Chain A
Amino acid sequence: MSDTWAGIVFLVTLVAALALVHRPFGDYMARVLTGTRHLAVERGLYRVGGIDANADQTWSRYLRSVLAFSAVGVLFLYLLLRVQHSFWPPYAVPQMSAAQSFNTAASFVTNTNWQSYSGENALGYVVQMVGLTVQNFASAAVGIAVAIALVRGFARNRTDRLGNFWVDLVRISLRILLPISLVLAVVFVGAGMVENFHHYATVHTIAGGSQTIPGGPVASQEAIKELGTNGGGFYNANSAHPFENPTTWTNWIEIFLLLVISFSLPRTFGTMIGDRRQGRAIVAVMAVLALTSVVLLLVFQGIHHGTVPTAVGGATEGTETRFGIPDSGIFATGTTLTSTGAVDSFHDSYTSLGGAMLLLNMMLGEIAPGGTGSGLYGILVLAVIAVFVAGLMVGRTPEYLGKKLGGRELKFASLYLLTTPALALVGTAIAMALPGERAGMLNSGAHGLSEVLYAFTSAANNNGSAFAGLSVNTVWWNYALGIAMLLGRFLPMVFVLGLAGSLGRQKPVPVSEGTLPTHRLLFVGLLTGVAVVVVALTYFPALALGPLAEGLH
């Protein structure tokens, strides 16, 4: 099989597998989130937590619960990181600075998993488990919970109740994330991913040198790292590290895992609002955007234009032999289209236009399919905007899924859309204006700007991948990106839950002649167009100065 065909088959099998599980998995998630029975272990959790599991929350109470849980999460993780060097590390771990601990705590609680540290020499096993692995589960579950609250806003009428955050959180974690992670972690161990508590062992190599080989509970974190679109590597090299991604088929599984929840949630959405065609339209938009993106990236990486790739004869810098260029490119597209940010190859060394595609993927707002939960609420907010645009064209009051979209709804949707671009572009502008921060760039010129733009785009969109050349372990970068991550995560959640609250209170508008059908091809095209146009208008000037200037000379 030729290189090209192998890459195509790899992509096709992934698409087929995602299509295959879309229905059963989407329906399973809907059952989990709408069921009325509590498991015994869940009842135990609610009792210890002092939670009334049968209380339905208003949007503001739901929001306060989200914020309280996340704030406690940031604080707890911050404290753990500050003291982790003192308990049982497998090697000498220095104390993490306040700035870096804040950055890391914000990063893992916001599902960003940006890392300004290097896992193998900054963190002990204890904090990897009780700190990071826990937030890998929790942050993913929070994202899904907020998306489900928005879906309930569409599904319910004349009520100010959106469900119970604690129940959503616990059920998502225990019934969706845990079983899949448990099974996959064991499969991963079978492939060679490490799962041990050994001290780092120094061995004598056959050439007469020595090598220190790390260990750690890696496989258990790896499974949830991908499934929960977290993406924070146990080691610095993330999923390029042979202990995090030992072989070609673990690579396939990792890509599948990081896409599976987000591509199945539209089915959950369709099921919960009682009109599965709506879910199909949403997943169709996601699929069109994702496939276009991955094909473009593979073409750009394949023709490998640019000085160094031409000299080399391929865009192999920063890629592993076992994965090759096409499979690495598919991983890179998946990780930037979701909020994962794990990498199995290094984006800084991608061709200029390939790197631009990865930036564009994140700038799209991570809606195709986006992070766990955040992808669904992101695209539903865009759908609100798309319906509004269509309403303007025909001069009718816009309505979506039987809900009128008035001033209040549109204000929430617009604020949502403005938040991340504002954070990304203002952050980049400030960094470029400060000579000290600009000096953190590894590459000079247009590529250096791309590094800074990539960092802020990644933080504001809670992605976490990097054009890793930038030196980001400074006080300024740690705080600036930490703040960008927190605002980029929780401001949109405020707007989404506000939107959900005001949708749920409405009484349904009956479908009439003039209602825009939102399950047809026309709407799929409209929503895709709106997604692309919004991004293009927002980011084109910045892209033109960075990767496009580099790639088109």
Chain B
Amino acid sequence: MRAVVDFLRTASAALRILLLFTVIFGIAYPLVVTGVAQIPGLQSRADGSPVTRSGSVVGSTLIGQSFTDPKGNPLPQYFQSRPSAAGATGYDPTASSASNLGPESIVDTLPDPAQNGGTGKQSLLTQVCARSLAIGSLDRVDGSRPFCTPDGVGAVLAVFWSGPGYSGHVTRVVSLDQACPTTPFLATYQGVAVECARFGQDYSRGQVVPIRGNAPAHPAVPADAVTASGSGLDPEISPAYARIQEAVVAKTRNIPVPQVVALVAQYQKGRDLGFMGEPRVNVLQLNLALDRQYPMSAH
């Protein structure tokens, strides 16, 4: 009996303290912070740092956007943001996300030819290769990268051996990320002709061998341009990625390149206090400045 009374007393104290905590930390504390945040100067930040153009909000300086047409093709008059894994089409703030693909995500699941327009499941390597190729062709720079095929997928072989444990001689070689009828990036490997990969085939008995190729170790398309950010909402790009885009933006807007270069320099931020984070360029602010100073002639 005493144990029961004791238990009830402890439980009721626990409940009452929890409710008091709820009032203090769950209601009063956030409301006080929100109240202080109404001070002019803080308010716009507390509201999400909105950016306006001709009176209407077009986004937030802190949240990245896509600068593409409805089909997802980049609009060449704008600087492009990084790849994004947020939502189905990227830069969806209601679905912030990273890709979560690992460093050895290199083998694609090929699209089912029976399903029209299917894309299968691309490995991170193939995503990187494809982006690099596309950016290279848009910005007229070399889009090649180590471990990528010239057609922009992962250069990855499945090598089958005659003996157990990858011993003996090579019997068969398949380029795993190149779906038939693509011509493999390598004609032969250790004297054996390389095949293209077919949907639904099981190549898991083969040894997975990525092929480095002879692309430069420091590719022309920078690292941030071919990788998705942690949030999928990264508002910024590296100065290096801005640099390779300058010429195309200038050409599309029909203005001299140095004017675009100067504008990028104006919007480039260094490391805070000289050592925090990385140098970067806010893409939305830069593009808004472009539209303001060098508007596209009406189509």
Contact = CB atoms under 8 A, between A and B. Distances in A.
Contact of B65 (A209, A246, A322, A348): A209
A211 B63 contact: yes
A206 B93 contact: no
B138 interface: no
Interface in B209-242: 210, 212, 217-219, 222-224, 226-238
**Which 3 A-B pairs have CB atoms at the shortest separation, nearest pair first?**
A248-B277, A240-B230, A130-B26
Contact of B231 (A65, A205, A242): A242
A550 interface: yes
Given A51-B13, A236-B95, A311-B128, A320 B234 contact: yes
B232 A207 contact: no
Contacts of B217: 313
Nearest to A241: B231
Interface stretch (B142-150, B157-165, B178-186, B249-257): B142-150
B47 to A, nearest CB: 5
Interface string B84-126: 0010000111111111111111110000000000000000110
30 contacts: A1-B271, A13-B275, A45-B17, A72-B14, A72-B18, A129-B26, A133-B25, A186-B33, A192-B45, A193-B46, A198-B48, A206-B67, A209-B68, A211-B63, A217-B30, A236-B95, A237-B230, A240-B98, A240-B229, A241-B233, A249-B276, A306-B103, A308-B101, A310-B147, A317-B101, A318-B99, A323-B278, A351-B103, A355-B102, A445-B104
Interface residues of A, number: 126
Given A6-B271, A243-B62, A313-B217, A121 B94 contact: yes
Given A118-B97, A130-B27, 20 more contacts: A49-B20, A129-B30, A138-B21, A173-B24, A178-B24, A186-B37, A192-B45, A203-B56, A205-B58, A211-B92, A248-B277, A249-B276, A251-B276, A252-B276, A318-B100, A321-B278, A323-B277, A349-B100, A446-B104, A550-B103
Given A189-B37, A316-B224, A324-B278, A468 B98 contact: yes
B227 A317 contact: yes
B4 interface: no
Interface residues of B, number: 111
A315 B101 CA distance: 12
A313 B218 contact: yes
B33 A185 contact: yes
Interface stretch (A290-298, A338-346, A366-374, A457-465): A338-346
B12 interface: yes
A169 interface: yes
A214 B93 contact: yes
Contacts, number: 385
A149 B145 CA distance: 58
A254 interface: no
B280 A316 contact: no
B32 interface: yes
Interface in A219-236: 219-221, 224, 235-236
A240 B231 contact: yes
B93 A212 contact: yes
Interface in A1-56: 1, 3, 5-6, 9-10, 13, 45, 48-51
Given A169-B17, A248-B271, A317 B33 contact: no
B47 A194 contact: yes
Given A133-B25, A214-B94, A235-B96, A308 B125 contact: yes
A237 B223 CA distance: 21
Nearest to A466: B100
A50 B20 CA distance: 12
Contacts of B78: 206-207
A249 B147 contact: no
Contacts of B235: 242
Interface string A159-174: 0000000100110011
B18 A319 contact: no
Given A134-B21, A213-B60, A320-B234, A352 B275 contact: no
Contact of A242 (B32, B63, B226): B63
A399 interface: no
Given A320-B234, A348-B101, A137 B21 contact: yes
